[in-house]
Structure 1
Amino acid sequence: MTNPPVPADPEKEYFVGDYLVRPQRGCIEREGRVIRVKPKTMAVLQCLARAGGEVVARDKLFDTVWGRAVVSDAALTQCIVELRSAFGDTARESAVIETVPRVGFRLAMGITPASVGVEDPQGAVGAEPRSKRKRVAVLALLLGLAGAAVVALAFVFSGGKPGQMADEVQTLAVLPFVDMSPDQDQQHFADGITEELIHGLSLQPQLMVIGRTSAFMFKNRSEDLREIGRLLDVDHILEGSVRKSGDQLRITANLIEVGSGAPLWSRSYERTTAQYFEIQKEISKEVIAAMAIETGLGEPGQVFGTSSFEAYEYVMKFYAGDYLTDTDSVLRDLEYLRMATEIDPGYAFAWGALSQLYSGHQDALSPDWRELSHRYLERALALDDNSPQLWEIAAHYYAAINDWSGAEQALSRVPQDSGIAVFPGHLELLVKVGRASETIELGERQLRRDPLNDRINVYLQHAYAMNGMPDKALEQSKIVWKGWPTPQAAQEAMLAAFAQDDPAVIRFWLERLLASGDVSATNPAMAERFDNPQFALDWLRQAELDTHADRYVAPAWAAYLGDAELALDLMRKAPDPWAFWMPHNAEVRQLDGFKDLLRDVGLVDYWRESGWGDYCKPTSEEDFECGPAPLPSSR
């Protein structure tokens, strides 16, 4: 089909499907919703629009949009990601922007010039301009009428019809509150306030709050708030600061309208720590009033479920070291959680976090980790069996003991997107049971809700690599690395690069892995022997690999270097299905011993009960086969 004519003047407004593109305003609109677009992202769209449906090469896009500036491929990738998000498009099922592998991109949907008389959704007769609504909200708050503002502004949103709310869903990002305490030692406390506000505000049906992980990507960063708002695609930003001295608190909160950068609401609270949870609820109510959304908040402290400030503070100290995996940090976290449960034995989330700590670190904490993790999990669920967070922790425990049906049943209690948070535990299970295509479909959907969530991005990266899409996996690796420059992120990128068999790319990520604090013995040894595969294999055959990090990466190196039997032998020492389905293990999956390994970890029984994965299928009631690449579906 030939595309309709492209506007002669690229600055004129035009439709892509039912989306109105407004280049001069820097936005895309649909059904009254305004999606703001960064200048470079709009420039990429304009370049694709001028091509009239023809493929635009990557080099052409770089030359047109960035000129002589030196930028990485990630810059263009990010623009495409933002455009797809704006159009509700995905890379997997691209109806608007199509990727032409190794060439570039094309606009797959037709373009129609906007007529002069097109109705402006924001200026329609009978509709209140958004700026006027905000002025009314601010006035109501200044008069101390926060409760009345909810009712009055709901009336405004409904176009003047009593008892009716508008269909518009407002969007908000709660940025990490800044620690302004004298000793700068209360960041964990400031993070806790942020977490609770994200939860409380997310309970509102007409408020879409960006997920915690994406919001926390901007912690300790000084970007312009309007730029952050555009990156997260939100209308409003809530920011603030915390100052704690003894039991005295001073909390300041500011609600910003992204488009203008103007403050919509601001307030300071001076209380004692005993009033901490009441402050959270007060801030949430007033923010909701300022945004003209009817409130129905539940009780404060629901995310972590304790009325003890001291116990709560210990859990927030645990979260402050979320990605620290060295022995000292793990033992310190263990002590924090034990203190929390001693102070408040009814603190369900603290018991759940203890369970996850044991199942995540296993023998490094105790040879009895299975018993301890299970005991703490049962205690947590006995206290609160309706918490999605606790059921996701349960799924993690069951996967750690290779009870895949148990993990699936636990995740059946966890919504894939609760409206409060996105739960990536579904993705982890799908990866481990070998369902790459399902992981990609769900992960891309979850990413719209929480676009910078490191776990979602890592699982997607891994699934792209599993599915024979190394270029896509490495593009995703750059996104992950930018926001989460950790050894885990660099190692996943290196393993994705194995599929390309490009020594320069592998070395690039190996160097970043070593520089970021890798704790394995294997990776430094492989770096020293990188140019001599036989020496590298000799080292792998003789090394004593006792750490979890080595047991995961050593089989990958053996498989990449061409010794599938050695890779399988190393896998048996600490089998982790996370690594089974990567392309470098294609030859390993052809070995008879690999089928025995799958039986040992319980995957075959699980598949016969729940449906087979992408890489193996039954050949009879007793036997099955596995392929080097995804097999035709047998589910």
Structure 2
Amino acid sequence: MKAIRKLSAIMFTDIVGYTTMMGRDESMTIKKVTHHEKVIKQLVTEFEGELIQFYGDGSLSIYPSTTFALKCALKIQETLRSNIIVPLRIGIHIGEILFKDGNIYGEGVNIASRIESLGQAGSVLFSSSVFQTIHNNRLFKTRFLGEVELKNVNRPVMVYALSNDGLTVPEPKDIAGRIKSRDEQQVAKSMNRIDSANDISDTIAEKIPDLSIAVLPFVNMSSDPEQDYFCEGISEEIINTIVQFPDLTVVGRTSSFCFKGINEDLRSVGNTLGVSKILEGSVRKSGNRIRITAQLIEASTGFHLWSNKYDRELDDIFKIQDEISHEIAEQLKLTLEGVHPNPIIRQQTKNVKAYQLYYKGRSLFYKRGTSLFDALKCFKEAIKTDPHYALAYSGLADVYVMLSFHGYLSPDECWKEAIPAGRLAVEYGQGLSETHNTTAVIALLHDRNFEKAKSEFVNALNINPNHVQARAWYSMFCLILSEEKFKEGYEQFSLAIKNDPLSSYAQSCYALMLATNDQFIEAINHAENALKLDPDSLIVRYCLGYCYLWSGSPEKTIEQCEIALKISRQHAWVLHLSALAYLALDQHDKAVQIFEEMDSIHRKQYLPPSNLAIVAAALGKNKYALELAHKAADTVDPYLSFITTLIKDSTALRKIDGFKAIQKRLGE
């Protein structure tokens, strides 16, 4: 069929809160959806429109004029607020479209969709191009909401609302967190990350692979916020199962979970994450019963490919996760032929309380900083509840290593707990990516066995290609810092960012390695991207400060360190970076002051000797610096492995006569 271009009024409708409604009352929701479909089909025709697509909880239609489109919208909202009430939002724009094979294309379609997503139940929003054609028409009362920048639209769009009796008119402040407004200085943190991803990602619609999916965090339908971790665990386990299909691109946890609690249009979610399919759902837990609803959705249209409801005993939760994963594979016609006959069933606890404690611990672990202590409590309690829970032992080992790596605990306290926990993790769960990663980290930082670490990181990635820490550390330690394979290391980081585009951790670690190789422009770009994604991250602030310092902007490093110190409770990395920045600014007294503060902490409590050695060497206190470096080697300070080769912070330390003896002790 020949493509036809024409100017049309484009209308999107969408039922607000559809997923939540399905979780609360599936029968009533189906009635609402059916009523919505009936009304749309009737009224679109009545107002000389053409229904292009109906996708379950929404529709797309076009009209020969804006007057017909707005009249239709008014009638739709009037009809849907009586008898069976349907919470619908509508967005309208006028523009040139390409009509081919029953589908329409063009920027106008995207704009109409974006405008619709800004609305609330009962609202009709539209663009200035629509307003210009109807502003003298007394049938329509209007209100200007503001000039906004919509995602993937290269110019500002003025947005209006119909304000006729009975319609909902959003306040500008109510939609500020869902758009990029010129006048808005701050938006919600999660929305910042999502908006930033649109600036960062190179993905465009034509490049989105058909076999690609994001699993959004399932909605907690109970009144207990602690159940959020249970719901997150369900979503994460589904991700960990379907990622085994070699032909399926699965977006990582960090990126998918950015959309938690955000009522974002699914077309926008798909575009942001670069996926064609989205799995969303809800969980309601009551006593020993659980209800899970799940829907597989075509992101570009919102069409529901598959949905199911599971009413089971709570003990069946792990079977349900596997069932959902298999049904997704069946819908996408995926197989593991030549790889596995079926996805590997991840070894799990049978204890729901332990399961919930573990995922709460992991959620806290990902935050790093002082949240690591809260994660530690969760992992310990999970093990107490189920002494054979492999993932909990892996989490326990990981958190102890990170507490020491970040300077919160001494190596003695770390290794005496981490090493046996790592062994038990392997004993109870050999086929898990988490246990392979734990083994790799211990081999790297304690045993100094680089070959074993490299092998175990690869094993972890073969099981779960989206394991961000495994890929980042494999790149940093095994490829770049130990073998100076920068090209291969950078390729691994690019893959990590592709798999998990909203991961500030992957972006900041990549920036660190780029700056270490004097690629400062690209390094700062990635570090600033990471800051947009997570401005509260200590790691992000440190890495950005590192890039600024060694590219010749120490004053900017000080700014980042001051913020990081408020986050981190006198973090050793930030203290040593601050001292180096003050020396670069010729403010020797301030550097000495920081050194004396660090030395005092080191003598009275604990501060990693590696970090103190960095500052001592920079101040010319070579004898003391070597003494501290030997102490770090004696105690197996995990941070020492990080600074013995290429990291710029320790350049002065590595130049001291006698430091080669330290490297020899470490087997380098």
Q: Normalising TM by the smaller chain, what interval?
A: 0.5 to 0.7
Matched, 1:182 2:223: yes
Point out where structure 2 has 5 or more consecutive residues left out of the alignment.
1-95, 99-104, 111-148, 156-179, 187-192, 633-638
User: Quick check: 249-258 or 559-568, which moved more?
Assistant: 559-568
| TM-score, normalised with respect to structure 1 | 0.63
Matched, 1:426 2:426: no
After TM superposition, give the deviation of residue 324 of structure 1 in Å.
5.3
Matched, 1:383 2:428: yes
Task: Look up the equivalent residue of 1:488 and give its one-letter code.
Answer: I
Secondary structure (helix, strand or coil) at the match of 1:516 reads: helix
Q: How does 1:462-473 map to 2 (within 5 A)?
A: 462-473=512-523
After TM superposition, give the deviation of residue 499 of structure 1 in Å.
0.6
Task: Look up the equivalent residue of 2:503 and give its one-letter code.
Answer: N
Point out where structure 1 has 5 or more consecutive residues left out of the alignment.
1-10, 14-21, 28-37, 45-65, 89-121, 123-167, 605-635
Question: Which of these two proteins has the greater Rg computed from alpha carbons?
Answer: 2
After TM superposition, give the deviation of residue 383 of structure 1 in Å.
3.2
> Which residue number in structure 1 is paired with residue 557 of structure 2?
506
> Which residue number in structure 1 is paired with residue 506 of structure 2?
456
| Residue of structure 1 aligned with 2:236, choices 175, 191, 195 | 195
> Which residue number in structure 1 is paired with residue 454 of structure 2?
408
Matched, 1:394 2:459: no
CA distance 1:330–1:510, shift in 2 (3 Å)? closer
After TM superposition, give the deviation of residue 40 of structure 1 in Å.
6.9
CA distance 1:324–1:388, shift in 2 (3 Å)? closer
Equivalent residues of 2:475, 2:489 under 8 A apart: yes
> Which residue number in structure 1 is paired with residue 635 of structure 2?
none
| Residue of structure 2 aligned with 1:82, choices 192, 201, 215 | 201
Equivalent residues of 2:354, 2:386 under 8 A apart: yes
Task: Look up the equivalent residue of 2:364 and give its one-letter code.
Answer: G
> Which residue number in structure 1 is paired with residue 317 of structure 2?
276
Matched, 1:361 2:407: no
Q: How does 1:136-535 map to 2 (within 5 A)?
A: 170-293=211-334, 302-323=345-366, 330=372, 332-362=374-404, 364=409, 367=412, 369-405=414-450, 406-415=452-461, 418-419=464-465, 421=467, 423-424=470-471, 425-430=473-478, 431-433=480-482, 435=484, 437=486, 438-484=488-534, 485-520=536-571, 523=574, 533-535=587-589
Higher helix share: 2
Task: Look up the equivalent residue of 2:546 and give its one-letter code.
Answer: L
Question: 1:191-237: per-residue Cα shift (whole Å, max 9, x none)?
Answer: 10011111222233442211222222333334332222111110011
| Residue of structure 2 aligned with 1:578, choices 621, 638, 642 | 642
Aligned residues: 474
Equivalent residues of 2:466, 2:496 under 8 A apart: no
CA distance 1:520–1:243, shift in 2 (3 Å)? same
Secondary structure (helix, strand or coil) at the match of 1:221 reads: coil
* CA distance in structure 1 between the aligned counterparts of 2:347 and 2:108, rounded to whole angstroms: 42
After TM superposition, give the deviation of residue 587 of structure 1 in Å.
4.0
Secondary structure (helix, strand or coil) at the match of 2:600 reads: coil
Matched, 1:536 2:590: yes
Secondary structure (helix, strand or coil) at the match of 2:312 reads: strand
Task: Look up the equivalent residue of 1:235 and give its one-letter code.
Answer: S
* CA distance in structure 1 between the aligned counterparts of 2:256 and 2:654, rounded to whole angstroms: 40
Task: Look up the equivalent residue of 1:83 and give its one-letter code.
Answer: D
After TM superposition, give the deviation of residue 466 of structure 1 in Å.
0.6
Question: 1:115-140: per-residue Cα shift (whole Å, max 9, x none)?
Answer: xxxxxxx9xxxxxxxxxxxxxxxxxx
> Which residue number in structure 2 is paired with residue 590 of structure 1?
655
After TM superposition, give the deviation of residue 256 of structure 1 in Å.
2.2
Equivalent residues of 1:217, 1:483 under 8 A apart: no
CA distance 1:548–1:226, shift in 2 (3 Å)? farther
Question: 1:129-153: per-residue Cα shift (whole Å, max 9, x none)?
Answer: xxxxxxxxxxxxxxxxxxxxxxxxx
Equivalent residues of 2:277, 2:296 under 8 A apart: yes
CA distance 1:418–1:462, shift in 2 (3 Å)? same
* CA distance in structure 1 between the aligned counterparts of 2:294 and 2:509, rounded to whole angstroms: 34
Task: Look up the equivalent residue of 2:523 and give its one-letter code.
Answer: A
* CA distance in structure 2 between the aligned counterparts of 1:263 and 1:556, rounded to whole angstroms: 57
User: Quick check: 431-440 or 249-258, which moved more?
Assistant: 431-440
* CA distance in structure 2 between the aligned counterparts of 1:556 and 1:341, rounded to whole angstroms: 38
Question: 1:465-501: per-residue Cα shift (whole Å, max 9, x none)?
Answer: 1110122222111222222331121112111211122
After TM superposition, give the deviation of residue 397 of structure 1 in Å.
0.7
CA distance 1:511–1:467, shift in 2 (3 Å)? same
> Which residue number in structure 2 is paired with residue 19 of structure 1?
none
CA distance 1:404–1:300, shift in 2 (3 Å)? closer
* CA distance in structure 1 between the aligned counterparts of 2:343 and 2:458, rounded to whole angstroms: 26
CA distance 1:248–1:393, shift in 2 (3 Å)? same
Among the aligned pairs, what percent are the same residue?
Answer: 24
* CA distance in structure 2 between the aligned counterparts of 1:368 and 1:374, rounded to whole angstroms: 11
CA distance 1:541–1:171, shift in 2 (3 Å)? closer
